[in-house]
Amino acid sequence: MFPVSSYAAWSSAVYMTSCCPILLFNRISASVRYDKINFMKKIDQQSIAARMALANRLFFRLYQSANMLHKTGTRAVEGLGLTTQQWAVLGALSRPEAEGGMSVGDLARYLLVSRQSLAGLISRMERDGHLSSAPDGRDRRSRRITMTASGHDVWNNQAMAKIHGYYDRVLADFSTSDMTHTLHYLLKLLDNMKQLDGVEPAGDEVLQ
């Protein structure tokens, strides 16, 4: 049997909505709004999940690319006794604005590495005759790193041809537009990471 109280409530609701179209309209509108809100929440949740899945793929590919750069880049210059880290140091010191050398701190900030890891790398490159260090005239507590004649010779007359050949192979399917857009997005990503790390974004400095 249908409970009398429930039947009375149901009858009252039917009577009120049938006698009052405005009340009926308001109830329908409220129901539609509720359904719309729930629908939008589901859409937002799905969008967030899809974005995070894409971000995961992107960062994993960046991680793989960094590992492959170290592996295949080192292979390209290992005949000269260089690694990708040494390649980066010589490249940084070969820039016109670094003609007078760079302090260890400035070089570490430019390469985005720790001073501790850079110190060991510099020592090995000094041992190989590619770099020299001397007290920095502007700060006697620091040392200034410069390329030696041997370092310039290795970089300009031996390494550059191998590095350009490596670039040609890795970027074989990239148009100039592809490279420009890729560089643009990598710079945006790098600036965001620097902000997380408390480092002032360098902007176009990375291009040099």
Domain extent listing, the chain: 83-148
Residue with tokens 């003609």: 99
pLDDT of residue 189: 94
Structure confidence at residue 43 (pLDDT): 67
Q: How many residues does the chain have?
A: 208
Q: Is the pLDDT of residue 207 over 50?
A: no
Contacts of 6 (CB under 8 A, 6+ apart): none
Residue with tokens 């949740």: 45
On the question of pLDDT at 20 being above 80, the answer is: no
Residues 92-130 pLDDT 10s: 999 999 988 999 999 999 999 999 999 999 999 999 999
For 156, which DSSP code? I
| Nearest to 199, CA basis, from 117, 118, 95, 110 | 110
Q: Residue 204 pLDDT more than 50?
A: no
User: Would the pLDDT of 62 be above 80?
Assistant: yes
Angle (CA) 141 146 148, round 5°? 140
pLDDT for the residue 33: 65
Q: Which helix (H) or strand (E) holds 17?
A: helix 4-19
pLDDT of residue 48: 83
**Which uninterrupted H or E stretch holds 121?**
helix 115-127
* Spatial contact of 87 and 73, defined as CB atoms under 8 Å apart: yes
CA atoms within 13 A of residue 40's CA, in its CB half-sphere: 6
How many angstroms separate the CA atoms of 83 and 48, rounded? 40
Amino acid (one-letter) located at 202: A
- Cβ atoms of 133 and 124 within 8 Å: the answer is no
Q: State which fold the 83-148 domain adopts.
A: Arc Repressor Mutant, subunit A (1.10.10)
Model pLDDT, residue 40: 67
